[in-house]
Each structure stands twice: as C-alpha cells, then as structure tokens.
Amino acid sequence: MTDAFKQAALDYHANPIPGKLSVELTKPTATGRDLALAYSPGVAEPVREIARDGENVYRYTGKGNLVAVISDGSAILGLGNLGPMASKPVMEGKGVLFKRFAGINSVDVEVNAESPQAFIDTVARIADTWGGINLEDIKAPECFEIEKALIEQCNIPVFHDDQHGTAIVTAAGMLNALDIAGKSIEDVKIVCMGAGAAAIACMRLLVACGASQDKLVMLDRRGVIHKSREGINAYKAEFALDTDMRTLDDAIDGADVFVGLSGPGLLSADQVKKMAADPVIFACTNPDPEIHPAVAREVRPDVIMATGRSDFPNQVNNVLGFPFIFRGALDVRATRINEAMKVAAVHALKDLARDPVPQEVLDAYECDEMHFGREYIIPTPVDIRLLDRVSSAVAQAAVESGVARKPYPAHYPLKNVNDVYG
C-alpha cells in the first residue's frame, strides 16, 4: 500500500462522519401520534404480544434481519492479536458488507474477555437479541471451542466466518481453479501455510470435497506439522503427516496448490518456481498476501493466482459467503448453519463463475471482459446474482436438512436488496 492509499483509507473512515455505518428509522416519527405508537404508550402492545408468544419478536422487532458481528480482536485479519477495540473497523466493515450485499442489519460487538469461557458466557447471555451471530477474527485454537459452545447454547445460527465463510469460498474457487488447470482435486499435492481458524476449516472442507489428506502438507510458525512433532494441538494433529519434510522449501517442491492463511510475504519467488505445472496459489492473508501476484506471475506465467483483496483479480474472500449465507439462513429462520447449507453455498458460488458476467460487474471493475478462466475463477462481490443464487441454495438446503423453522421463502428469488422483506 502506498502512503497516499493509507491516508485515503484513514480519511475514508474519518470523514465526513466517523465510521462506516449508522442506524436508520423505518417508521414515521414526525407527529405526537407517531411517537405515541413508537414509544409510550403504543410500544406496550408489542411487548405484551412478545411476552405472550416469543415468536412474535420476529413480527414486531428487527431481530429477524439483525446479525451481530462479534470479535475479541485476537486475530484481526493477518495483523494479529491487537485487541477488541482495534477490531472495530473490521467489524463495522463486515456490517457494511452485510447491508450492502444482502440487506442485513448488523451490530458490531467487541468483547473484552479474559478467557474463552468469559467470551462464551458474555455472548450466550445476549444472543437472543439477534437473528444470527457472525463470529469474526477470533484466533485458533480458542475459536473452535467458542463456536462449538455457542452453537450448542444458542437457538440462532452461530457462524465463525473466518472458518466457514473462508472455507466455502476457498473450496468454490479451488474446484474451479483445478478444473481450469486440468487437475483433479483427488490427485493434487496441497501445501497450506497456516494452521489456524481459516486454514483448519479450509483444509477440512477441501478434504470433504475430495482432496487427499496424504498429499496435504500443513505448516505453522514452526514448520511442517508432522507426526513426530510434539506439542501440537488436536486441530493441527488432524493434519499431521508421516513425513520427513520440515520446511516450506521441502513442502513446496512439486506442489500443485499453495493456500496461504498465515502471514504476509511468506512465499518466495524461488519457492513458486519449484511448484508443479499450472500451479494454483491462493495467497489469502489480508491485507498483504503471502506473495504479491505480480511476483508470482513473473516467475510462473502459468500460475492461477488468487488473493483476499479487492484490487487484484480472483478475490477469494469470505465476503462472497457470509452475507448470502446469513440471508438464506435468516429467511427460513434456520436454527443453525449446517454442513448441507455450506456445501450448497460452495456449489452455488462455483457454478455462478461459469455464467456470463453482467455489464454492471465489468463497469464496477472498469474492465472490458471477464469470463471463466485463469483471471476469473470466482464471482466478484458486486455481482447481484449472488444474492439470489447463494441465498436460495442455502435456504433450500436448510429446509431439506430440517433446520428451517419457516418454509422456503415465497418472495424468492431475490433480485435486489430492497426485496429482502418480501
């Protein structure tokens, strides 16, 4: 990032008013009668109705279209553990994306918790306020325990975006990239740099999609995760290989795929040179990827390259997932986001990339053409068709898998965020 761009980012967040989101009114408040309806005495009526039947909360309040974006700031993007307050711009940012792409209202909640249990207790006590909970930027391994406990304790969808949102988008992009490279997921050698929230979930989903665990090498700060290494947690142990490889240099030799969910600049041009033909590199660390696309391309013109960023082609980022996954889940009032819903989202995303790209998308990215291929393996976030395709696939899967509390929405397909209330 140039200094000018860094300043522009600060100015964007500061001006003309601080932050990126505000609350808007949805009902008239001009007259005394309006106020009497909105507040005292009128507000007593929905209170009584909700006390009589809790389901009425969805009828008389904004709960059904409200998602909390909750973090402890322990893994903010790839910037590390900078604490809850520093995570607020990212959490507001997730709220912007929820609203912009899926018409979902959100609140950001930054929790200062001394332990995973304190975090769980804090969130569990207020969870009923929202229609869903998007956990964000919580580091591994604590994130696994936190998400599991909150799913068990809450009757609304709880979804750790860095795990599942990232995994869904990565799997969709990977299946397309491998198809373009003429390789089959069962055969490829995969190197995963990182063994945290995103990496573990992405590799689990790639294995569920057919990747061979014997050909998957995972690395953390201490190098290759192998069976004779001591002191690895249970999540990393799932991916421990019986191997002599110890470093990224060892692992990258002949690899078909590199997935980076770790830290900036960790993959060198010399290492990219050692990869197999038509290498697939997803350097997904934000904001600065494991390798700059231009550097990878210079040494390997045959590379299929993706990053997590909006300013390079092939943005493999959970923004393509969480807005639309929650849209579908909220619209059928799902109690959880299960594996069937995640798989449905993978296929919806993967398939949409193969359709012709609308002019609005070309205009937004100021380019003349985009079509399925090396520079376009996955749709862009501004593609309005995501709202229909992903949300409806997720809603349908929720209904079919028995976690929906409402039928498939009569007002689907969604063509616009203004249609979300039917």
Q: Is 397 near ligand NDP (CB under 6 A)?
A: no
Q: Which residues bind Mg ion (CB under 5 A)?
A: 137, 162
Asked if 269 contacts 291 with a C-beta cutoff of 8 angstroms, the reply is yes
Q: Is 286 near ligand PYR (CB under 6 A)?
A: yes
The letter for the amino acid at 345 is A
Q: One of 94, 189, 342, 350 is an active-site residue; which one?
A: 94
Q: Is 108 near ligand PYR (CB under 6 A)?
A: no
Asked if 171 contacts 209 with a C-beta cutoff of 8 angstroms, the reply is yes
Phi and psi (nearest 5°) for 108?
-100, 140
> Which one of ligand NDP, Mg ion, ligand PYR, none is in contact with 195 (Cβ closer than 5 to 8 A by kind)?
ligand NDP
Q: Between residues 142 and 162, which has the closer beta carbon with respect to Mg ion?
A: 162
Instruction: Choose, by CB under 6 A, the member of 72, 142, 162, 331 that binds ligand PYR.
Output: 162
Cα 114 to the chain's mean position, in Å?
26
Interacting positions 38-67 with ligand NDP (CB under 6 A): none
CB of 137 to Mg ion, least distance (A): 4
Q: Is 318 near ligand NDP (CB under 6 A)?
A: yes
Instruction: Choose, by CB under 6 A, the member of 106, 134, 317, 396 that binds ligand NDP.
Output: 317
Asked if 263 contacts 289 with a C-beta cutoff of 8 angstroms, the reply is no
> Which one of ligand NDP, Mg ion, ligand PYR, none is in contact with 176 (Cβ closer than 5 to 8 A by kind)?
none
**Partner residues linked to 107 by β-bridges:** 68
Q: Is 71 near ligand NDP (CB under 6 A)?
A: no
Q: Is 163 near ligand PYR (CB under 6 A)?
A: no
Residue 369, both tokens:
């053409």
Instruction: Choose, by CB under 6 A, the member of 50, 77, 111, 124 that binds ligand PYR.
Output: 77
Q: Between residues 136 and 331, which has the closer beta carbon with respect to ligand PYR?
A: 136
Instruction: Choose, by CB under 6 A, the member of 65, 106, 285, 314 that binds ligand NDP.
Output: 285
Residue 326's closest CA among 158, 199, 167? 158
Helix (H, G, I), strand (E, B) or coil at 102: helix
Size of site (CB under 6 A) for ligand PYR:
8
Cα 54 to the chain's mean position, in Å?
30
Interacting positions 126-145 with ligand PYR (CB under 6 A): 137
CB of 134 to ligand PYR, least distance (A): 10
Longest dimension (CA), the chain: 77
CB of 342 to ligand PYR, least distance (A): 16
Q: Between residues 12 and 244, which has the closer beta carbon with respect to ligand PYR?
A: 12
CB of 168 to ligand PYR, least distance (A): 12
**Burial of residue 369 (number of CB atoms within 10 Å: 0-12, 13-18, 19+):** exposed
Question: What's the CA gap between 363 and 340, in Å, rounded?
Answer: 34
Say which residues have a Cβ less than 8 Å from residue 224's Cβ, sequence separation at least 6.
217, 218, 241, 243, 245, 246, 247, 250, 251
Active site residue 94: yes
- Dihedral over alpha carbons 143, 161, 343, 346 (to 10 degrees): -140
Q: Is 77 near ligand NDP (CB under 6 A)?
A: yes
Interacting positions 143-202 with ligand NDP (CB under 6 A): 162, 166, 193-199
- Residue where the block lists tokens 């709880």: 158
> Which one of ligand PYR, ligand NDP, Mg ion, none is in contact with 387 (Cβ closer than 5 to 8 A by kind)?
none
Q: One of 39, 148, 227, 421 is an active-site residue; which one?
A: 39
Q: What is the 3-state secondary structure (H, E, C) of 329-340?
A: HHHCCCCCCCHH
Instruction: Choose, by CB under 6 A, the member of 74, 163, 317, 392 that binds ligand PYR.
Output: 317
DSSP code string of 140-189: TTHHHHHHHHHHHH-SS-EEEHHHHHHHHHHHHHHHHHHHHHT--TTT--
Can you state the percent helix, strand and coil of the chain, rounding each to 5?
A: 45, 10, 45
Q: Is 206 near ligand NDP (CB under 6 A)?
A: no
Q: Is 271 near ligand NDP (CB under 6 A)?
A: no
User: What long-range pairs does 379-383 form, CB within 8 A, spacing at least 24?
Assistant: 379/320, 379/349, 379/352, 379/353, 380/315, 381/97, 381/101, 381/310, 381/315, 381/317, 381/319, 381/320, 383/352, 383/357, 383/358
Size of site (CB under 6 A) for ligand NDP:
29
Q: Is 308 near ligand NDP (CB under 6 A)?
A: yes
CB of 35 to ligand PYR, least distance (A): 41
Residue ranges binding ligand PYR (CB under 6 A) = 77, 137, 161-162, 286, 308, 317-318
Tell me which residues touch ligand NDP (CB under 6 A). 75, 77-78, 139-140, 162, 166, 193-199, 219-222, 261-263, 266, 284-286, 308, 316-318
User: Which are the catalytic amino acids?
Assistant: 39, 94
